[in-house]
Amino acid sequence: MTSTTDSARGSGWSPERSAAGGHNPYLIAFVVSIATFMEVLDTTIANVSLRYIAGGLAVGLDESTYVITSYLVANAVVLSISGWLATVIGRKRFYMICVAVFAFASLLCGFAWNLEALVLFRILQGLGGGGMATSEQAILADSFPPEKRGQAFAIYGIAVVVAPVVGPTLGGWISDTYSWHWIFLINVPMGLLSLFLVGTLVSEPSGAEEERQRLLSRGLRVDYVGFALVAIGLGSLEFVMDEGQRNDWFGSNMIVGFALAAGFCLVALVFWELTREDPIIDIRLLGQRQFGACFLAMLGTGAIVIATTQILPQFLQTELGYTAMLAGLVLSPGGLVTMVMMPITGWLIGWVQPKYLIAAGSAIAALSMWHLTGITGDITYGYAAMSRIYLAIGLPLLFLPITTASYDGIPPHKTNQASALINVARNLGGSMGVALVQTVLAQRQQFHQTRLVEHVAPSDIAYQQTIDAMTRYFQAQGSSASEAASQAIAWVGQTLQKQVDLLAFADVFWTLAMIGAIMIPMALTLRSIDLKAPARGH
């Protein structure tokens, strides 16, 4: 037996325990990435289609946002408990149930007849989608020996990172060309393909089956209190972050109520789960130095990835007049760079400590956000696309090493729980990032509006000179003296508002740059791992 296999056995992994079941593990990585791409794509593809959905169902644009919120809330609730469910039901069985539910719910979404039905089907879709990522990452962790997991997660990571980039472009094209119904219907054939391949190629690891039998032998004890605390706590938190800016945050009694519910339930969850023998969420994992740091790093990564995917197209559409599809195309070059960087990063993980790769990725992400602070009202397509390319270089250096390092020191029977918590971090970080940038944008718009308006006064000499110059300009275009004066004042107002928006967006990118900078020292707190013989689970 080779030394590689020996070290793998030492870490709790062996070929007999592999989920690949005798098949090429890289084929398994590709198979589970199909459903990953489908599910992650669906989190962003609907964003650019909201106005089409609102028009098709005869509802307001604000009401149509519940199509997004309902999915995220359901996704977060199931994601947090999916590790426990995968252990109890069986990893492969649970995964196939999730794919089937997601595909069936997508079919129902495509034929939804009103908003209420669509929201209900999106909740069902979120319940199915939330359980996929946990099982997928655990399957990959069990299909590859520890020293090759970086390569496995590189293949998987292409789907996770590229799908949010492709989503807005694909969603805009489908909605413009065909109908919003098809953004959901395209999931059906992909879901059926995934079910067939998983059922044919993926095996249930012996270790996972042994853990399941151990739990069932003592009688299935469902932590109903823990489940309720998770569902109410995370569901309320997602609602607060998604709806807070639209409802004036804590100026709204509804937001205050949901925030209090989230705070109480999440604090109670910690104390409750620490006293359970079979907790629905293993909170103790967060207390481990390695896993806890990876959890926080994934929070920051999710915030940067999802927030920039949302705020950059918003800037291009509102300030530069880009169409939804053209704004999405700005993100596409970054997706191509990510696809190239993923296998390179997967190779690097075998030679460079994850903490140094994460620190480098954080620095690159921070610099890419700093690049965007130089935005003006006449930046080119190339300037915007290059900012995304810079970020795309750093993302694999974050996502893959964080995912790989998070399993260091985790015993095989806890990989389901670890995977669930890391995916919760990514989704929760994304929601926090979107809420943060929208809040910063609104508050900084108010701040810059107040400061710039101080100089727009009849007593200000510069203002007088500008009005006189623009009045003469409009008179030269054929306007009367009174019309030219009105046009000059309107022009100053429009210019002022544009400057306010540009300064506010620049502040948003500064905020995201600071998140990237904070992640650098956090990454360096991770312990070094033996790249050739990974640490034993403990």
Q: Average pLDDT of 96-119?
A: 89
Q: Is the pLDDT of residue 366 over 90?
A: yes
- Least Cα distance to 435 among 237, 199, 143 occurs for 237
Query: What is the enclosing helix (H) or strand (E) of 63?
Result: helix 61-64
Query: Using one digit for the tens of pLDDT, what is the confidence trace for 55-105?
Result: 788 776 566 667 776 787 787 778 777 777 777 777 778 888 989 999 999
Read off the pLDDT of residues 149-179 as tens digits, 9 standing for 90 and up.
666 777 777 777 677 667 767 777 777 778 8
Angle at 400 between CA 100 and CA 297, to 5 degrees: 100
Other residues' Cβ atoms within 10 Å of the Cβ of residue 180: 25
* Rg (the chain; Cα; Å): 25
Q: In the numeric block, which tokens belong to residue 308?
A: 């920039």
pLDDT in tens, 389-445: 999 898 888 888 888 888 777 776 677 777 778 877 887 788 788 778 878 888 888
Q: How far is CA 271 from CA 42, 66, 198, 282, 374, in A?
A: 35, 32, 38, 11, 46
Q: Using the 8-state DSSP alphabet, how is residue 374 labeled?
A: T
Whole-number Å distance between alpha carbons of 24 and 534: 22
User: Cα(415)–Cα(411) distance, rounded to whole angstroms?
Assistant: 7
438 against 191, higher pLDDT: 191
**Sign of dihedral through CA atoms 424, 430, 433, 434?**
negative
- Burial of residue 332 (number of CB atoms within 10 Å: 0-12, 13-18, 19+): middle
The string of DSSP letters for 249-271 reads: GGGSHHHHHHHHHHHHHHHHHHH
Q: How many Cα atoms are found within 13 Å in the side-chain-facing hemisphere of 488?
A: 23
Lowest mean pLDDT among 191-195, 349-353, 473-477: 473-477
Distance (Å, whole) CA 166 – CA 188 = 18
Q: Per-residue confidence at 221, pLDDT binned at 50, 70, 90?
A: low
Supply 487's token pair: 């046009």
Q: What pLDDT score does 215 carry?
A: 61
Structural contact between residues 427 and 302, judged by C-beta atoms closer than 8 angstroms = yes
| Percent of the chain residues topping a pLDDT of 70 | 83
Confidence check: pLDDT of 480 > 80: no
CB neighbourhood size of 376 (10 A): 10
pLDDT band at 206 (very low <50, low <70, confident <90, very high): low
CB 484 within 8 A of CB 474: yes
- How much is the pLDDT for 264? 92
The answer to whether the beta carbons of residues 18 and 142 sit under 8 Å apart is: yes
Q: How far apart are CA 193 and CA 114, in angstroms?
A: 29
**Across residues 190-209, what is the average pLDDT?**
76
Q: Give the total residue count for the chain.
A: 538
pLDDT at residue 7 greater than cutoff 50: no
* pLDDT score for 101: 92
Cα 237–169–44 angle (5° rounding)? 15
Angle (nearest 5°) at CA 332 between 354 and 308: 65
Contact 50, 64 (CB under 8 A): yes
| Band of pLDDT at residue 534, cut at 50, 70 and 90 | very low
Q: Which has the higher per-residue pLDDT, 166 or 126?
A: 126
What would the pLDDT profile of 300-339 be if each residue is shown by its tens digit? 988 888 788 778 877 887 788 887 677 777 877 887 888 7
Task: Check: CB of residue 302 under 8 Å from CB of residue 426.
Answer: yes
The pLDDT of residue 21 is 54
What burial class does residue 301 get, using C-beta atoms within 10 Å of its C-beta: 0-12 exposed, 13-18 middle, 19+ buried? buried
Structure-token pair, residue 388: 């995304």
Which of 9-23, 87-101, 202-216 is predicted most confidently?
Answer: 87-101
* Alpha helix ranges (H) inside 379-460: 381-406, 415-453
CB count in 10 Å sphere of residue 318: 12
DSSP string computed for 170-228 = HHHHHHHHS-TTHHHHTHHHHHHHHHHHHHHH----HHHHHHHHHHHHT-----HHHHH
The arithmetic mean of pLDDT across residues 255-265, rounded, is 90
Average pLDDT over the chain reads 78
Average pLDDT estimate for 359-384: 89
pLDDT at position 360 is 93
pLDDT the model gives residue 538: 36
* Average of per-residue pLDDT across 466-494: 78
Distance CA 65, CA 63 (A): 5
